[in-house]
Amino acid sequence: MHTPSSAAAIPRKPSGLSLGVLLFRLRALIALFVLIAVFSILSPSFFTRANLIILVGQTAINAIMAVGMTFVILTGGIDLSVGSTVGLAAMVSGLLINRGLPIPPLGVAVYFNIPAIIVIALCLGLLVGAFNGLLITRFNVAPFIATLGTLYVARGTAQLSNNGATFPNLVGNPELGNTGFPILGAGSILGIPIVIWIMVLFAAVAAFVAGKTPFGRQVYAVGGNERAAELSGIYVNRIKMAVYMMCGLCAAMTGLITASQLVAAHPAVGESYELNAIAAVVLGGTSLAGGRGTIWGTIVGALVIGVLTNGLVLLGVQEFWKKVITGLVIILAVVLDQLQERLQQRLALKRA
Amino acid sequence: MDQMEQNRPETHQIVMVAEKVTKRFPGTVALDQVDFTVYTGAVNVLIGENGAGKSTLMKILAGVEQPTSGRLLLDDSPVTFKSTREAAHAGIGIIFQELNLYPNLNISENIFVTRELTRGWVVQHGAQEKVTRELLARLEQPLEPTTLVRDLRMGQQQIVEIARALSQNVRILIMDEPTSALTAAETEALFRIIKDLKAHGVAIIYISHKLEELLTIGDYVTVLRDGKLAASAPAQSVNIAWIIDKMVGRNVHAPHHHERTVADNNQEAILEVRDLCLPRLGGGLTLENVSFTLRPGEILAIFGLMGAGRTELFETLMGLHPEASGEICLGNKKLRQQTIRERIDSGLMLVPEDRQRLGLVQKLSVAHNITLANLKRFVDSFWLNERREQEDINAMIRDLAIKTRTPQHPITSLSGGNQQKVVVAKSLLTRPQVLLLDEPTRGIDVGAKAEIFEIMNRLAEQGLAVLFVSSELPEMFTIPDRILVLSKGKITGEFLHDQATEEALVLAAGARQQTEHPTGTAPT
């Protein structure tokens, strides 16, 4: 047999995207710059070093959660339990600092140092994620329902941990060797808050994992077409399990930061945070149907929400109006996302 | 009038005629100037290969589709049906192959759905159930009208479909493969019902692949081939050989075998399947004692009709049906509980039939689809070496002549044939020893089909064992070294490429079902 004569000519042209489509794709970034410009003009105190650091610091809390959420949404899932995981991680860190780990039969409590407490809280986040993943993969519960259930379970557990009361004053005790917890939320390195460094670290690692590793590629494949992914030999359930665990880890990190910033662990902390995280992911252009989106988009999305919140406060806009505006921005983002989908389909048809 | 018909069964009157009906779809002509006559009080059999145009013709008669040209005559006057509703109004009912029943409703509700007997706005359940009971009695099925359809067996559900058609006072009843899901007893009951309907002057249009069955109950036989009318004749004057002859035609597909040196007979088998059985939901077997071997460099084709178990066979080989029993040996390794990944790693890979649903990830680029099944090949430490990945992607695009503007283009921007090549490329990158292709040429144009076969041929020359499934008869005479025929989950024939004839394949694929499975469900 001879080889096919029509050897494929692969023109090495830059992908034939028009400027319009490119601008459309970068809409979140453009929106971010526009918002920054508008608030800079309207409020003299907006574009100052001090305010920007505050803004990014506020954003970081949401962004870290949203990074984990991005992976979940890329597989076509959703995690509603992150807000409760934030609360649970905060309460556990509070408990371990103020009371230690009680061991009832011996009547003693074991105290850990702060790095150990952080590790324990993060592991707890992984555990919550594993619980979600197990429900979704082994018991075939829809992600929305499974994580809704976990939302209540985790929140209830957080409240039970101190009978609904706050763990106050988490400064630790020098005699027990567990001081230093507030540094996480209040400290800074090179003049930039640790919180922001953590966000950058999480985002960089996540972007690398999503873009450059087989795992990341498989996450996109599972979200794009689960059955095709399975037939390509991808362990779909393992991928799903992993993304929920990563999401739980990110939420636990957020809980630690929040507790550290407040120097207290309140059982209601993190309530409705899941919605902010989902909003950031969606604003960043990730499709709720799965298979499409980027970590950097999510960071931009979180920044858009952060700028909007911060700027509207500086302008003295009433809290209630803030909510209305944020909501409208999210709706607009999804509408634009649908438009992009349709636009690309039309372009694909034209090419075919 | 009906009574008179009954007394003169040999001179059936014409109730409906399709004259020079043509139906064009973008790119293909499904029906080309077909004439079809429907006699009242008779079973009008329609037969042909897959894709011969039977379903299209039925859809036109039932108002589902409208002809591009040609006309329909009902009682000698021209009619046009814009919808099934209009056709139903004219007395034409159709029972589709896939039943259209609501499992959550009961029998009488199903029969009267959208045509409920009402007083004011209130449904008269009592009246509906009374009519239903009468209908079921006429069909010799004393079922309770309030039984939920989901609790009925397939055959009984078929009866409900027929009852629904009868309740609309049909004059013409179209039945598309009505016995494909029935047991022998249910088939007999159905034939009695058909005789009864005939006696009442109803014209039956009957589609089936079971040749003996057609001759048992048919009065007139019409054969379609490649969208054209091949022949029509009274059933008494024809036999099975005649039907097959008309179905496959003469000199249409001149067998042209490749000149590839056929695999060495002494070579050790790479794939050995023994007594593979796959239970079917609701009893019976989807695959029954399937055994075969495959040598390196050999191309083995599996021919069979829809529902013969071809796709299930491949799925079982890939490990999608853990409930299957029997033995699968790949090389010297016995495959038992292995996952899909482990099977791929040991050298088995599937190109699935449904490209869009199972083969591709539409949101990924051409490049990322190609490497999806073997990412670990490109891993340095724990990240992907994109340079090496790109090299393999480019090599695949070159080798298989995939036409894409850049590898980064979305997969959806390619034509069907090129998308299929991407799926093949993905499979080849796993370095398989045995490649399974399920209907590899479905939905792609003629040129791409030839290219796919050329690729398969080339792979076989390189020592790959190729197993492919097709329901297209002509494909059996292109490249396979050997052909297995699968019918109702059982291997009903095996032919070397130079021994196979179209007649023999068709007979093995369809006709043996009746004789070999008298009960309809396979014994264990």
CB atoms within 10 A of CB A330: 19
Domain shared by B449 and B484, yes or no: yes
Cα–Cα distance measured from residue A222 to residue A229, given in angstroms and rounded to the nearest whole number: 6
Quick one: DSSP state of residue B356?
Answer: I
Q: Is B403 on the interface with A (CB under 8 A)?
A: yes
User: B177, B97 in Cβ contact below 8 A?
Assistant: yes
Q: Give the tens place of pLDDT for each residue, A267-315.
A: 999 998 999 999 999 999 898 889 999 999 999 999 999 999 999 999 9
**Please, which residues 417-456 of chain B have a Cβ atom closer than 8 Å to chain A?**
426, 430, 451, 454-455
Cα–Cα distance measured from residue A293 to residue A289, given in angstroms and rounded to the nearest whole number: 10
Q: Give the tens place of pLDDT for each residue, B253-263.
A: 443 455 565 55
B472 lies in a domain? yes
User: A150, A128 in Cβ contact below 8 A?
Assistant: yes
Percentage above 90 pLDDT, chain A = 62
Helix, strand or coil, per DSSP, at residue A239:
helix
Cα–Cα distance measured from residue B101 to residue B158, given in angstroms and rounded to the nearest whole number: 9
pLDDT of amino acid B84 = 83
Domain shared by B338 and B450, yes or no: yes
Q: Which residue has the higher pLDDT, B28 or A324?
A: A324
Domain shared by B82 and B180, yes or no: yes
Q: Is B409 on the interface with A (CB under 8 A)?
A: yes
How far, CA to CA in Å, does A208 sit from each of A125, A216, A280, B457? 21, 8, 19, 41
For residue B61, the domain's CATH number is 3.40.50.300
Cβ distance B357 to A227 less than 8 Å, yes or no, reads: yes
pLDDT of amino acid B512 = 43
Cα–Cα distance measured from residue A166 to residue A158, given in angstroms and rounded to the nearest whole number: 10
How far, CA to CA in Å, does B286 sit from each of A32, B186, B353, B488, B520? 58, 19, 18, 7, 12
Nearest to A279 by CA among A323, A326, A316: A326
- Quickly state the pLDDT bin for B476 (edges 50, 70, 90): confident
Segments forming the whole domain that contains residue B214: 2-91+171-248
The continuous run of DSSP H or E covering B59 comes out as: helix B54-61
Domain count of the fold of chain B: 4
The continuous run of DSSP H or E covering B212 comes out as: helix B211-217
pLDDT of amino acid B24 = 80
The continuous run of DSSP H or E covering B454 comes out as: helix B446-461
As a whole number, the mean pLDDT across chain A is 88
Here the tokens at position B326 are 């029997």
B28 lies in a domain? yes
A314-323 per-residue burial string, b: 16 or more CB within 10 A, e: under 16: beeeeeeebe
- Interval A147-169 mean pLDDT: 93
B133 lies in a domain? yes
Neighbour-count burial of B359, counting CB atoms closer than 10 A to its CB (0-12 exposed, 13-18 middle, 19+ buried): buried
Domain shared by B280 and B340, yes or no: yes
Q: Give the tens place of pLDDT for each residue, B267-277.
A: 788 999 999 99
Helix, strand or coil, per DSSP, at residue B159:
helix
CA dihedral of residues B318, B321, B324, B329 (deg, nearest 10): 10
- Quickly state the pLDDT bin for A14 (edges 50, 70, 90): very low
Give the residue from B119, B151, B169 where a domain finishes: B169
pLDDT of amino acid B157 = 83
Angstroms from B465 CA to nearest CA on chain A: 17
pLDDT of amino acid B446 = 66
Cα–Cα distance measured from residue A243 to residue A206, given in angstroms and rounded to the nearest whole number: 11
pLDDT of amino acid A90 = 95
Cβ distance A220 to B451 less than 8 Å, yes or no, reads: no
Q: Which residue has the higher pLDDT, B260 or B321?
A: B321
B259 lies in a domain? no
**Selected residue of A1, A12, A342 to mutate for chain B interface (largest B Cβ count, 10 A):** A1
- Quickly state the pLDDT bin for B265 (edges 50, 70, 90): low
Q: Which residue of A has its CA nearest to B417?
A: A352
Is the pLDDT reported for residue B377 higher than 70? yes
Beta-ladder partners of B19: B71
- Interval A57-83 mean pLDDT: 95
B80 lies in a domain? yes
Contacts of A224 in chain B (CB under 8 A): 361-364
B256 lies in a domain? no
Q: Which residue has the higher pLDDT, A21 or A301?
A: A301
Q: Is B461 on the interface with A (CB under 8 A)?
A: yes
Here the tokens at position A328 are 């409208």
B253 lies in a domain? no
Q: Which amino acid is at B342?
A: E
- For chain B, report the end-to-end CA distance as a whole number of angstroms: 50
Domain shared by B337 and B444, yes or no: yes
pLDDT of amino acid A348 = 56
Is the pLDDT reported for residue B1 higher than 80? no
Domain shared by B201 and B130, yes or no: no
Beta-ladder partners of B55: none
Angstroms from B402 CA to nearest CA on chain A: 6
pLDDT of amino acid A213 = 93
Nearest to B93 by CA among B105, B75, B81, B102: B81
Give the residue from B248, B275, B306 where a domain finishes: B248
User: A242, A209 in Cβ contact below 8 A?
Assistant: no
Q: Which residue has the higher pLDDT, A22 or A178?
A: A178
pLDDT of amino acid A299 = 95
Cβ distance B372 to A1 less than 8 Å, yes or no, reads: no
- Quickly state the pLDDT bin for A349 (edges 50, 70, 90): low
Mean pLDDT check: name the lowest of B21-30, B277-286, B303-312: B21-30
Beta-ladder partners of A193: A188
pLDDT of amino acid B27 = 55
CB atoms within 10 A of CB A109: 15
Pairing of the two strands B203-207 and B43-48: parallel
pTM for the model stands at 0.76
Cβ distance A352 to B358 less than 8 Å, yes or no, reads: no
Domain shared by B296 and B405, yes or no: no
Pairing of the two strands B379-380 and B348-351: unpaired
- Quickly state the pLDDT bin for A154 (edges 50, 70, 90): very high
Domain shared by B339 and B469, yes or no: yes
Contacts of B414 in chain A (CB under 8 A): 352
Here the tokens at position B68 are 């591009």
Quick one: DSSP state of residue B43?
Answer: E
pLDDT of amino acid A1 = 37
pLDDT of amino acid B98 = 64
Domain shared by B424 and B443, yes or no: no
- Interval B185-214 mean pLDDT: 84
Nearest to B269 by CA among B431, B428, B427, B434: B434
Is the pLDDT reported for residue A13 higher than 70? no
Here the tokens at position B107 are 């029998």
pLDDT of amino acid B489 = 87
pLDDT of amino acid B258 = 55
pLDDT of amino acid B252 = 41
Give the residue from B382, B415, B431 where a domain finishes: B431
Chain centroid to Cα B134, Å, comes to 35
- Quickly state the pLDDT bin for B39 (edges 50, 70, 90): very high
Pairing of the two strands B299-303 and B465-470: parallel
User: Which residues contact residue B345 at a Cβ distance below 8 angstroms, ignoring those fewer than 6 apart?
Assistant: A233, B430
Domains of chain A listed by start with CATH number:
46-344 (1.10.3470)
B358 lies in a domain? no
Domain shared by B323 and B381, yes or no: no
Domain shared by B175 and B316, yes or no: no
Contacts of A218 in chain B (CB under 8 A): 375
Percentage above 90 pLDDT, chain B = 27
User: B65, B59 in Cβ contact below 8 A?
Assistant: yes
Could you give the residue ranges of the DSSP H alpha helices within chain A? Answer: 19-25, 27-42, 49-74, 82-98, 114-137, 143-160, 183-186, 194-212, 214-224, 226-231, 236-262, 273-283, 295-314, 319-351
- Interval B515-519 mean pLDDT: 39
Domain shared by B9 and B78, yes or no: yes
pLDDT of amino acid A6 = 37
Cβ distance A212 to B379 less than 8 Å, yes or no, reads: no
Q: Which residue of A has its CA nearest to B358?
A: A228
User: Which residues contact residue B417 at a Cβ distance below 8 angstroms, ignoring those fewer than 6 apart?
Assistant: B444, B445, B447, B448, B449, B451, B452
* Chain A residues interacting with chain B (CB cutoff of 8 angstroms): 1, 3-4, 6-8, 10-13, 15-16, 208, 212-214, 217-218, 220-221, 223-225, 227-235, 287, 291-292, 344-345, 347-348, 351-352
**Please, which residues 344-373 of chain B have a Cβ atom closer than 8 Å to chain A?**
344-345, 350, 352, 357-364, 368, 371-373
The continuous run of DSSP H or E covering B191 comes out as: helix B184-199
pLDDT of amino acid B444 = 72
Mean pLDDT check: name the lowest of A138-152, A338-352, B32-46, B296-310: A338-352
